[in-house]
Amino acid sequence: MSEVPSMDEATSAAQGASSLVIDIRGATKVFNPGKSNQVEALGEIDLSVGPGEFITLIGPSGCGKSTLLRLVASLIPPSAGTVQVNGKPAEQARLDRDYGMAFQTAGLFDWRSVTKNIELPLELMGWSRGARRRRVAEMLEMVKLSEFANHHPSELSGGMQQRVAIARALSFSPSLLLMDEPFGALDEMTREHMQDELLRIWEETETTVVFVTHSIPEAVYLSTRAIVMSPRPGGIASIIDVDLGDRNASTRDDPAFFTKVTEVRTALRKVEE
């Protein structure tokens, strides 16, 4: 784990700097600077993510993984350093709607039907009604909820709500999908099912994914790279490459899977000492 920087450089070099989806250089985040409740949430972060990667951010609470995700989303500005998305400042990428986002709570609007929920970003982008309806039909098919188009969120189970949230995040075909513990509130069986669904969608859409989690098996199962983060201040402790190939039910019993789980767990133990 000592050669973290070189691993990082190797990945970014392979992709070529211009085609990076995310390029973070020396980004820090201090909340309430200069006040008594000042918190250094993130130390200097360097991270590059290439197209089509599936990155998970994993670490103990307070390690700044959600903060890092919000820097990329430009929901909060960095205190220092730069965050670039698709080769432009994160702020511009947000204004250009380059990414979709999903949260731990599905965050659907209760007063809108499933269809209207998925349509929301398209409405804001001024799509015509016909175009919206066509796209929603495609998205519903993708998340296998076509027959629930006119249901309201309160009529759906938690897993189904989360699928609607994913459809909403991907409805305008962003090149990047940012997910903040999206399956954290689901039971274990639903969670594993949703992970398979997400992998299928990731392959179909060729979207780049950044996924925050605190589940080790989830991080290993999903990602192409797992970023292990350390707290106080938040930083990247190690980056673990994962290559499990095509994943299916048997992958979870695969020795290679367990090896990676152990590797991530060991890295996390070191962080928490």
Q: Is 257 in the site for another protein (CB under 8 A)?
A: no
Q: Is 124 in the site for another protein (CB under 8 A)?
A: yes
Minimum Å gap between C-beta 16 and another protein is: 28
Q: Is 54 in the site for another protein (CB under 8 A)?
A: no
Paired sense of beta strands 99-102 and 54-58, if any: unpaired
Q: Rounded to 5 degrees, what are φ and ψ at 62?
A: 90, 5
Q: CA of 241: how far to CAs of 62, 121, 219, in Å?
A: 23, 34, 11
Taking CB under 8 A as the criterion, the residue among 111, 138, 256, 262 binding another protein is: 111
Q: Which residues pair with 25 in a beta bridge?
A: 82
Q: Which residues pair with 31 in a beta bridge?
A: 39
Taking CB under 8 A as the criterion, the residue among 197, 214, 215, 252 binding another protein is: 197
Q: Is 252 in the site for another protein (CB under 8 A)?
A: no
Minimum CB distance to another protein smaller for 114 or for 228: 114
Tokens at 259, concatenated = 């090896």
> What CA–CA distance (Å, rounded) separates 15 from 5?
16
Taking CB under 8 A as the criterion, the residue among 9, 203, 241, 272 binding another protein is: 203
Minimum Å gap between C-beta 50 and another protein is: 22
CA angle 111, 113, 116 (to 5 degrees): 100
Stretch that binds another protein, among 12-20, 29-37, 140-148, 233-241 (CB under 8 A): 140-148
Q: Is 73 in the site for another protein (CB under 8 A)?
A: yes
Q: Which residues pair with 57 in a beta bridge?
A: 212, 227
Minimum CB distance to another protein smaller for 23 or for 180: 180
Q: Is 29 in the site for another protein (CB under 8 A)?
A: no
Q: Give the three-class secondary structure for 139.
A: helix
Q: Where does the chain show beta strands of DSSP type E?
A: 22-31, 39-49, 54-58, 80-85, 88-89, 99-102, 176-180, 208-213, 225-230, 235-241
Q: Is 175 left (phi over 0), alpha (psi -120 to 50) or beta?
A: alpha
Stretch that binds another protein, among 5-13, 20-28, 79-87, 107-115 (CB under 8 A): 107-115
Q: Is 188 in the site for another protein (CB under 8 A)?
A: no
Q: Is 157 in the site for another protein (CB under 8 A)?
A: yes
Side-chain-side CA neighbours of 118 within 13 Å: the count stands at 34
Q: Is 158 in the site for another protein (CB under 8 A)?
A: yes
Minimum Å gap between C-beta 48 and another protein is: 22
Q: Is 162 in the site for another protein (CB under 8 A)?
A: yes
Q: Rounded to 5 degrees, what are φ and ψ at 248?
A: -150, -170
Taking CB under 8 A as the criterion, the residue among 23, 53, 148, 218 binding another protein is: 148
Q: Is 204 in the site for another protein (CB under 8 A)?
A: yes
Q: Which residues bind another protein (CB under 8 A)?
A: 70, 73, 75, 94-95, 97, 99-101, 103-112, 120-121, 123-125, 144, 147-148, 152-163, 178, 180, 185, 189-190, 193, 196-197, 199-200, 203-204, 246, 248
